[in-house]
Amino acid sequence: MPKASKTRASKQAYVSTNQPLLDGFVTPFSKHLNESNRWVVLAAKIPWDELVSVYRKQLANAKTGASSINPRVVLGSLIIKHMCNLSDREVIDQIQENMYMQYFIGYNSFSDEAPFDSSLFVEIRNRLGIEQINAMNEKIISLSHLNKVTPISIEAEDPPNTPPLVDASTNEKQANIEAPPTHKGKLLLDATACPQDIRYPTDLNLLNDAREKSEELIDFLYASSSLSKRPRTYRENARKLYLNTAQKRKKSNKEIRKGIKKQLNFLTRNIKVMHSLLDECEVIPFDGGQQKYFFVIQTLLDQQGYMFKNKTHSVEHRIVSIHQPHVRPIVRGKATANVEFGAKVQVSLMDGYAFLEDLSWEAFNEGTRLIKAVEQFKRRLGYYPKEVAADQIYCTRENRKWLKDVGITLRAKPLGRPPAVKTEHVSPGERNPIEGKFGQAKTAYGMNRIKARLQNTSEFWIATIVLVLNLVKLTRAVPYSLLSKMMNYICSMAKKLSEPSTSFVIDPVIRIYKFRHV
């Protein structure tokens, strides 16, 4: 017997175990939920009543009388979707299978039924917008310690048998405590791009996509007309010529330009055919989506014809996707990608909480948005920030003068030569928190690939990711802020008592608090 056969025979064949029965499968439903689970902790920290009040303002049930799904189920499903970076269908499947997620969205018991159809996410995105998400963020920040300067309620009374402490400047100190602050905190500002989930646009591919879409529209118009002969489109020749250029591994500029010229000619002819077919119709038979494509491909033809004639690659309001015509190229100057295709957002960071200040599909200069962001800070918290940290593009002379007049310190590189300037400029790592927020949003929650297709749904997608960032921050900040108030109270009581009998209880707690606080 050959050696290979002996080796093969000596190996034991794997025998799979029998599939266990559903009746005999042990489940943990007789036990209690784990209190330290992330969904249990997050459910206890979210201000559901405030978020639901913002959501209900967008409903028209009072007028139509239509019944609606529990708002907590809707908002909880949105939070799960973006925290786990899941698709619409996958969110519903995960909720059906996970009892912790069902507890998070407000269920009293486990259910294997879907909370709602996944297509409802489209209506939810259309219903909510950036303003509503920012309103929810303001509700969240109201729970943090940002605007809570009053001491904890348990120190309202002095301990019994303790004489009151008298100080000559008590009234003056009390007046300073009660006076609202005019400048407090720190504001970080920065902008980034949120790339859309589209194919990298090239002029040749865009023209080919527009040509194929125009052929679909011609077929639809022909079916709706009374013509006996189908108009010629030369689609087979156009497709063959496109592939001859696109499939080449290395293409010269001359070959690319020649291929673009041919696709321009085919697309121009198709648009003329569409206009002639529309002249035969009494009513335009296009629906909303077809009519949008009809105008988009004509605009694309005008832009590509202009760039081809003038030998340039830039044009105002350039279309980079016929399916998402609102997307624009955003020049960022990064090492990995000089140009990104999506929305440009400006985010402000206040003590770890992010706010979506601006969202635009066109590129904008960040320096023109600084004053507005500072005024929004004052509107939310009631006072100006003490410091503003921003990169160089924000630090125009006009912004520097305005911040100086208001009494805000700008943490940025000063003007003038370094030897002539004595003021201290920003350190390299002072703006790291907001850069870390961008990295967290793009890496963990999908801001680097927005998969929504419509403009308003894409904006809602981005705003919801910012909301999720604040919810994650809330779960970590609230316990520590409460602990901070309690420890401050204990420290003040320790100073007032000054009794040796209490030091063995208070001193270890103070040491633990100082260690954790650091």
- pLDDT band at residue 49 using 50, 70 and 90 as cut-offs: confident
The pLDDT score that the predictor gives to residue 344 is 94
Tell whether the model's pLDDT for residue 134 goes beyond 70.
Answer: yes
Structure-derived torsion over alpha carbons of residues 140, 142, 145, 149, reported in degrees to the nearest 10: 180
Average pLDDT value over all residues in the chain = 80
Instruction: Give residue-wise pLDDT tens across range 197-229.
Output: 999 999 999 999 999 999 999 999 998 888 888
- pLDDT band at residue 196 using 50, 70 and 90 as cut-offs: very high
The pLDDT score that the predictor gives to residue 20 is 65
Structure tokens belonging to residue 356: 């979506």
Tell whether the model's pLDDT for residue 360 goes beyond 90.
Answer: yes
Instruction: Give residue-wise pLDDT tens across range 424-476.
Output: 555 666 778 898 999 999 998 989 999 988 898 899 899 999 999 988 888 77
How many other CB atoms are found less than 10 A from the CB of residue 98? 14
The pLDDT score that the predictor gives to residue 144 is 63
Instruction: Give residue-wise pLDDT tens across range 279-301.
Output: 888 888 899 999 999 999 999 99
Give me the amino acid identity at 501: S
Residue 418 CA to chain centroid, in angstroms?
39
Give the whole-angstrom CA distance, residue 335 versus residue 122. 36
Tell whether the model's pLDDT for residue 347 goes beyond 80.
Answer: yes
Q: Higher model confidence: residue 325 or residue 423? A: 325
Structure tokens belonging to residue 198: 């589209």
Residue 142 CA to chain centroid, in angstroms?
20
Structure-derived torsion over alpha carbons of residues 57, 60, 66, 69, reported in degrees to the nearest 10: -30
The pLDDT score that the predictor gives to residue 163 is 45
Give the whole-angstrom CA distance, residue 467 versus residue 105. 16
Instruction: Over range 184-195, report the average pLDDT.
Output: 92
The pLDDT score that the predictor gives to residue 158 is 44
Residue 349: beta bridge partners?
A: 188, 354
Tell whether the model's pLDDT for residue 90 goes beyond 90.
Answer: yes
pTM of the predicted model over 0.85: no
The pLDDT score that the predictor gives to residue 198 is 92
Q: Higher model confidence: residue 493 or residue 33? A: 33
Question: For residues 206 and 319, is the Cβ–Cβ distance under 8 A?
Answer: yes
Q: What is the DSSP letter of 516?
A: H
